[in-house]
């Protein structure tokens, strides 16, 4: 069972209520190694489904495709968000009407348990299948993070800049990073893949997971966000 990503089908094009019939986004057009390698790995896993082995029998595989994953102990996105806000870099926003989805970590783990149970069952309905896994509601990226900035007492962005300008800036940052990082390593504040994830609507349907895995997020999205907000209210 492979934890994949919606990035295997998304590369900057608008997607509304996308389902598992979407084709893989062309590997050569991905702007980041993460998305490209996720797509390669997912295809390897799915193509291995049904492979026979004399010792262990038949291999059964499936892949889950979450969008952004969040939870109380999340370190990748929240820490960077807070650091950028504290340095005064989060003074702008863009594409305020674009939508995306998140999945609370407990809900993703629940989906993985259901998928594993399906692979081990007599029906093996998940065998060779892929599933989008989200909390359900669609949010604008800046709207999603506002409660966290509030609880941390950090300044929320007010200036609205055009998406094309942000994408161009991200491209320049990537070029500078490729030239400078061998001599002076640093983490780029913004890259094209992140600009695309924030700036272009891409939302997906849980319908296949609901029907075939009986997936119904046990933690409603507002409850998951409240748990995260309370975590940072107490610890930070």
Task: Give tens-digit pLDDT for 90-117.
Answer: 888 888 899 999 999 999 999 999 999 9
Encode pLDDT of 123-172 as tens digits. 899 999 999 999 988 999 888 888 888 888 887 788 899 999 999 999 99
Average pLDDT, the chain: 91
CA 111, CA 159: separation in Å to the nearest integer? 38
Q: Give the separation between CA 138 and CA 157, rounded to whole angstroms.
A: 20
| CATH number corresponding to 2-235 | 3.40.50.720
- Output phi, psi for 110, to 5 deg: -60, -45
With bands split at pLDDT 50, 70 and 90, how would you rate the model's confidence at 197? very high
pTM of the model: 0.90
Mean pLDDT of 219-234: 89
28 has pLDDT over 80: yes
Q: How far apart are CA 204 and CA 226, in angstroms?
A: 23
Residue 182: pLDDT band with limits 50, 70, 90: confident
The pLDDT of 40-56, averaged and rounded, is 90
19 has pLDDT over 80 = yes
Q: What is the DSSP letter of 125?
A: T
Chain centre distance of CA 184: 29
User: What pLDDT, on the 0 to 100 scale, is given for residue 169?
Assistant: 94
Positions marked active-site? 34
Query: Checking DSSP bridges between strand 57-58 and strand 52-53, what pairing results, if any?
Result: antiparallel
SS3 186: coil
The pair phi, psi for residue 150, each rounded to 5°, is -60, -50
Domain ranges for the chain, please list them.
Answer: 2-235
- Taking the C-alpha atoms of residue 208 and residue 214, their distance in angstroms, rounded to an integer, is 9
Residue for token pair 């059964």: 60
């Amino acid at each position: 069972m492979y934890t994949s990503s919606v990035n295997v089908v998304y590369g900057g094009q608008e997607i509304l209520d996308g389902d598992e019939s979407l084709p893989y986004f062309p590997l050569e057009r991905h702007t980041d190694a993460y998305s490209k390698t996720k797509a390669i790995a997912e295809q390897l896993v799915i193509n291995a489904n049904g492979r026979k082995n004399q010792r262990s029998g038949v291999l059964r595989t499936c892949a889950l495709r979450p969008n952004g994953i969040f939870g109380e102990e999340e370190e990748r996105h929240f820490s960077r968000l807070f650091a950028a806000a504290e340095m005064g870099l989060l003074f702008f926003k863009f594409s305020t009407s674009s939508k995306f989805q998140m999945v609370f970590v407990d809900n993703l783990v629940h989906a993985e348990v259901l998928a594993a149970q399906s692979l081990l069952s007599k029906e093996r309905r998940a065998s060779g299948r892929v599933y989008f896994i989200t909390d359900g509601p669609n949010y604008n990226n800046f709207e999603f993070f506002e409660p966290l900035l509030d609880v941390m007492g950090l300044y929320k962005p007010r200036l609205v800049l055009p998406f094309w300008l942000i994408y161009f800036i991200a491209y320049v940052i990537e070029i500078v990073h490729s030239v400078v990082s061998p001599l002076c390593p640093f983490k780029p504040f913004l890259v094209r893949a992140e600009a695309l994830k924030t700036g272009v609507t891409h939302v997906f349907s849980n319908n296949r997971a609901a029907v075939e895995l009986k997936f119904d997020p046990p933690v409603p999205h507002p409850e998951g966000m409240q748990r995260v907000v309370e975590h940072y209210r107490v610890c930070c």
